Structure 1
């Protein structure tokens, strides 16, 4: 279920859901109440993106500032061989600064030319049923899958309506499947069909919608959980179907930990082909080395076929070179990444982390004679307060410079301040 609401109502609705269940179930041992948790996250988000060398009639800047609240309630399960529970979520976004000529950041509803509302909100719940180590959820979901990655990258996270099944009956093996019929995007208050994003040229193009996203997958971890393999299938009905295979491994070597992450997508048109023919194969690999607070990574990514990687709109993917601004997933694109992370806890400053990465891509099929090329440099700095009255307050700063010869150049800055309060 989903409805528009303000924050006080969201808090009362979520915390009061337990009262609607039979008193015997609530009072029984087994943890419906005892194992329940509720958190409230406050997130303040500033986003600025400058577009360089765009026509005078095009948007030259996206800039908005907003405050968000995310209330999560997760119950325990009723006792017995079949346990029942409820998960609920309530979200509220408040405009702090925006205008029609600067809209479209994804923080607030509306695109270029639209005036963002002063606030927007939504609420939803899911019934969950658990037998042994198998769990079924029906209702409002936030799946995190290779074929539909949880994309909490703006003010509020997206949600989906449908059903999911997760089974871990065999040690190391996780089986998942589900059917989704609608979505609430990160900057929307209501339900909508699920929209595809199909790169038919050097740019991603929003295309037709479907009311059915189906998926099934398996991940198996072994070798003391240092190695895992995965196989997945996804279908955005009548638009595209997709297969995904992965291999991850990490290996301690003295003071170092070495590792690899490989993935392969194969995508094609589906059913009635509402978006036309689709042809993409995408491969990526990442190699990393960790020691102390240092983490070094190099990555390679390649697109094959007539198109780039299709996906659900406003959703990121596990592609190795997908970053905040450019995806490096245009038709025929090849890209390389170098990344360095440092955790300052190794120097006695816990909570302070930094990231710098550089990605360069070429061989893009732009539909013309010129080969498409692009690059992006990201700087991230984050700090979480470790003690005192501001304990657990997190501050993150991001600066991006992205350049291309076939799409607008971008300069981008983000400032995110967040705090999560455990209610119970």
Structure 2
């Protein structure tokens, strides 16, 4: 944390301390919540077209614990509070030829760490419906999606402000200076990902963002506008529209978005020129939901993002992103909720995305495709009530990048402590 942010944390804690005598009988304690999630994660990714001496598999098994504490606020027109997140991961199975699954840190000797953990704190202050936080943050924005897709969730260090003073309108802004990656305990510099290629040779001092979402039409319609900047690397704008409408027994929906990005400041990764459009249309009837999507990359660069983050693009899948230069992709997806057949908690999903028109720079058109199958069940009755089991199988094929066969098994349970 920088010196300025440290001073701000001290000020927030000092302000909270001035109200400690009243805090015990106030919302600071009464409105506090704490949960503990256990997450058992098996991950296997087989790079099926790699042979010989190259690493051909990433496969690990680990146990994670995630403790989330959120206090209420001290009384008065200005309220103070504290949030905390504790994370701890334990290696259950790994070997040097199967590391880099994203579940565990890799040590200098090529072995996965036996365990790793972190405690992150965020001081917060609230005035009316506006909240300021300083410290460990987990923002979830169209330009910085919360990417909780492995054993432990990532985090950022910085300051954020969120305001909901106007009904339906949520405004946010933030300044982030470092990150804790999903398989790390410490803090790292902010870096960029262009398409599927990490730009690890350079780092940025900050990620800044500002934007808002406005929900209206009985919350059936939401419009969004965001601007973000990974200093000295790229800046990006986003405009989005989500809409749903009942039509007889059906519910029709649309999720549309447009990104526009270019290089910024010292241009540490060179020229960035990307415009991206996606549309994901849905139709729901009972337990059935059908989707159709289109996604297009325009400009002379692939889609940029902060390193190791997913995006809000409609056709991005767990294995392939379909964000290469000039790429066009199409998606078909089907979800079923078995509650419609009297089996609540059981969900199934299958999706297929195919992409082409990729500018590979190797004299031929790049093409790729991915098929995903997901099945999850959350137990509804004692003694296993709340226990969640999720299975995923993915198959991804391409003529310009590595083919992948992937399997995941995730077993999770969350205790509400208070």
Structure 1 residue 55, shift from structure 2 partner: 4.3
Q: What's the offset of the Cα at 1:28?
A: 3.3
Q: What are the within-5 Å matches in structure 2 for residues 246-285 of structure 1? A: 246-285=240-279
1:27 aligns with 2:24: yes
Q: What is the aligned counterpart of 1:375 among 369, 385, 390? A: 369
Shift in Å at residue 27 of structure 1?
2.2
List alignment gaps of at least 5 residues for structure 1. Answer: 2-18
Structure 1 match to 2:85: 89
User: In structure 2, the residue corresponding to 1:242 is in which secondary structure?
Assistant: strand
d(CA) in 2 for partners of 1:65 and 1:321?
A: 28
Q: What displacement does 1:56 show? A: 1.7
In 2, Cα distance between equivalents of 1:409 and 1:192: 29
Tell whether 2:166 aligns with 1:173: no
Instruction: Pick the aligned partner of 2:101 from 102, 105, 109.
Output: 105
Runs of 4+ with >3 A deviation: 19-23
Q: 1:352 to 1:113 in 2, by over 3 A?
A: farther
What is the TM-score when the length of structure 1 is the normalising length? 0.93
For 1:111 and 1:101, the matched residues in 2 are separated by 13
Change (3 A) 1:111 1:206: farther
Q: How many residues align?
A: 404
Contact 2:107–2:113, Cα closer than 8 Å, also in 1:
no
- 2: CA distance, partners of 1:317 / 1:70: 23
Number of the residue aligned with 1:78: 74
Q: Deviations over 1:283-337 (max 9, x none)?
A: 0001100011110000000001111110001100000000010000011000000
Counterpart among 102, 124, 129 of residue 128 in structure 1: 124
Native 8 Å contact 2:258 2:278 kept in 1: yes
The residue aligned with 1:230 is 224
Name the structure 1 match of 2:8. Answer: none
RMSD: 1.6
Preserved contact between residue 198 and residue 307 of structure 2 (Cα < 8 Å): no
Please give the secondary structure, in 1, of the residue aligned with 2:47.
strand
Q: Which residue pairs with 1:7 in the alignment? A: none
SS at match of 2:401: coil
Q: Is the 8 A contact 1:136 1:164 kept in 2?
A: yes
Q: Deviations over 1:136-164 (max 9, x none)?
A: 00110000000100000000000000000
Matched residue, 1:401: 395
SS where residue 186 of structure 2 aligns? coil
What is residue 63 of structure 1 aligned with on the other side?
A: 59
Q: Deviation of residue 25 (structure 1)?
A: 3.2
- Per the alignment, do residues 151 and 239 of structure 1 end up closer, same or farther by CA in structure 2, a change over 3 Å counting? same
Residue 26 of structure 1 and its aligned partner are, at CA, apart by 2.2
Q: SS of the residue aligned with 1:52?
A: coil
The structural deviation recorded for 1:206 is 2.6
Deviation at 1:112, TM superposition (A): 11
Which runs of 5 or more residues in structure 2 are unaligned? 2-15
